Amino acid sequence: MNQFILLAEPLWVNLLILIPVVVFFLFRSNKLLITRKQLLFAAIFGMAFGFVESSIVIYLRAALGFLPGYMGSLSDVVQQSGNNYQQVELLNDLPKSLFTVEFFREAATIVMLITIALLSAKKFRERCAVFLWVFSFWDIFYYVGLWLTTRWPSSLTTPDVLFLIPVPWLSQVWFPCLVSILTIVAIAVNIKSNPSFSE
């Protein structure tokens, strides 16, 4: 198990912890007009997309030779690579061509999440909330997908490369998971409880 590290790098990444606080107070007085059905479907999309993203990372690891046991079963992968793999190493060893593809894949991911938000709500504030909602589920289920298939990350203190745009963001896994969970809660408690918006 890795030693707990409080701060992410670069330092400005730590400001992400303010997102759920801002969301909570921004929507507290004027509740969000999003239905439970919209949130459910958006969450399902986020969960499924998170698993797709984790699959891409698994394929990338295998293609680069960083996933021992991948020619066998998932049990072989778990036994041979679960505790040995370090995501930060992949960043250092990623060929420049694949780094460029990965950079644009991350940009495309954000475009897809924005598109779901645009399709799910009419007003800007609800679209922002849906984007953050889907992003949070996507982020959490990215780690769930990786853990279910490879048993990585081995703990919440495992170091990870969170994002590459505009520079690599480095943190332990607990940080993005905490921000995502708190964001989901902040949005959930700020949904208007009007019967006409309950479906």
pLDDT for the residue 22: 96
pLDDT for the residue 183: 98
Residue range 45-55, pLDDT digits in tens: 999 999 999 99
pLDDT for the residue 104: 92
pLDDT for the residue 75: 73
pLDDT for the residue 195: 41
Residue range 134-165, pLDDT digits in tens: 999 999 999 999 999 888 898 999 999 998 88
What residues of the chain score a pLDDT lower than 50?
Answer: 195, 197-199
pLDDT for the residue 5: 93
Cis-peptide, bond into residue 95, ω within 30° of zero: no
